[in-house]
């Protein structure tokens, strides 16, 4: 997708979120939370809940469409599928039926040297599973089936909705406490400067508390990855799931040993340390393989 179209889509999506949430706030009669007497905590709580959950759920509702646009996913048409893609559809269909999904997810392929895959969508009946061309080139069919089973497990576990709920809760708490602390600090300066101080402090504490919130969301995400690995092992068999993770691990090792010019091709599951490990959405492949093998 051209960069202009991506920017336009981003702006339109954010405009939709802002307009939708503003309408909801008006319909609920939520008043400004700052009054002459201080903070109206009831209005602030309503404001934060609507903004925190509203943005998260609108993004979830648009997730499948956004993924297709942003990643240039080519959805495989079952009625005109070529032989090379038929087994992908068959594998996803088989795993979906085994997992008890109400509808087989759409299956797509996107161009990327990254050996990767993802599942997204607002509900179990409206999901998308997509794999990269790099993954299809580097892995054999048994390993790819392990990856597909992992993604179907995400759908079956309802991880998209679960993570959206967690993100909404974290967003609401971050906004709530950032505004309370910011207002409290603004009371230590002269009245004519309080508006500016409060505005700047809200931005700073939104970022600071947001980083703490990222750690919470990331911790839940890592837990869901372990569950999806276990679910993938149940659907495709443990040997295929372990083989898929080892194949990804080998790809990471090759790229880490490659020249710096190859850094752009590193996958998201690359081992991280320190603070980066705390905000990583995926456990290290080493930990995932070990946990799966001893299960």
For residue range 240-263, list pLDDT tens digits in order. 999 999 998 887 654 443 333 323
Please indicate whether residue 145 is annotated as part of the active site.
no
Q: Which helix (H) or strand (E) holds 85?
A: helix 83-99
Question: Could you give the CA distance from residue 144 to residue 140 in angstroms, rounded to a whole number?
Answer: 6
Question: Could you give the CA distance from residue 161 to residue 167 in angstroms, rounded to a whole number?
Answer: 10
pLDDT for the residue numbered 8: 54
Domain ranges of the chain: 3-294
Question: Could you give the CA distance from residue 269 to residue 115 in angstroms, rounded to a whole number?
Answer: 10
| pTM, two decimal places | 0.83
DSSP per residue over 161-199, as a string?
Answer: HHHHHHHHHHHHHHHHHHHHHHHHHHTTS-GGGHHHHHH
Say which residues have a Cβ less than 8 Å from residue 140's Cβ, sequence separation at least 6.
Answer: none
Catalytic residue among 151, 190, 192, 286: 151
Question: Could you give the CA distance from residue 248 to residue 243 in angstroms, rounded to a whole number?
Answer: 9
pLDDT for the residue numbered 191: 87
Closest CA to 145 of 237, 231, 226: 237
pLDDT for the residue numbered 227: 94
Question: Could you give the CA distance from residue 227 to residue 147 in angstroms, rounded to a whole number?
Answer: 13
* Residue 282 near residue 221 (C-beta atoms within 8 A): yes
pLDDT in tens, the chain (295 residues): 444 545 555 556 656 666 677 777 677 676 778 888 888 899 999 888 888 888 888 888 888 988 888 888 999 988 887 777 899 999 999 999 999 999 999 999 999 888 889 999 999 999 999 999 999 999 999 999 999 999 999 999 999 999 999 999 999 999 999 999 999 999 999 988 988 999 999 999 999 999 999 999 999 999 999 999 999 999 999 999 999 999 988 876 544 433 333 232 233 345 666 777 778 888 889 999 999 988 7
Question: Could you give the CA distance from residue 238 to residue 148 in angstroms, rounded to a whole number?
Answer: 13
160-187 pLDDT, tens per residue? Answer: 999 999 999 999 999 999 999 999 999 9
């Amino acid at each position: 997708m051209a960069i202009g179209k991506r920017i336009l889509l981003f702006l339109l999506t954010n405009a939709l979120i802002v307009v939708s949430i503003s309408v909801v706030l008006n319909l609920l009669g939520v008043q400004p939370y700052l009054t002459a007497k201080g903070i109206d905590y009831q209005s602030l709580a309503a404001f934060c809940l609507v903004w925190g959950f509203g943005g998260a759920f609108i993004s979830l509702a648009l997730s499948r469409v956004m993924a297709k646009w942003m990643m240039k996913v080519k959805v495989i048409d079952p009625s005109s599928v070529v032989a090379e893609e038929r087994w992908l559809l068959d594998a996803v269909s088989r795993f979906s039926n085994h997992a008890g999904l109400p509808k087989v997810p759409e299956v797509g392929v996107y161009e990327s040297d990254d050996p990767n895959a993802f599942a997204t969508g607002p509900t179990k009946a409206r999901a998308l599973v997509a794999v990269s061309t790099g993954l299809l080139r580097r892995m054999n069919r048994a390993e790819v089936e392990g990856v597909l089973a992992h993604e179907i497990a995400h759908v079956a576990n309802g991880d998209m909705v679960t993570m959206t709920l967690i993100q909404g809760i974290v967003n609401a708490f971050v906004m709530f406490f950032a505004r309370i602390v910011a207002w409290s600090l603004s009371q230590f300066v002269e009245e004519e400067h309080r508006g500016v101080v409060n505005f700047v402090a809200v931005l700073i504490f939104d970022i600071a508390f947001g980083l703490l919130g990222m750690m919470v969301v990331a911790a839940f995400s890592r837990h869901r990855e372990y569950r999806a690995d276990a679910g993938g092992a149940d659907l495709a068999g443990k040997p295929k799931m372990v083989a898929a993770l080892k194949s990804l691990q080998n790809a990471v090792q090759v790229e880490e040993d490659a020249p710096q010019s190859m850094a752009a091709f590193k996958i998201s599951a690359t081992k991280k340390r320190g603070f980066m490990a705390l905000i990583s959405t995926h456990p290290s492949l080493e930990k995932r393989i070990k946990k799966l093998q001893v299960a």
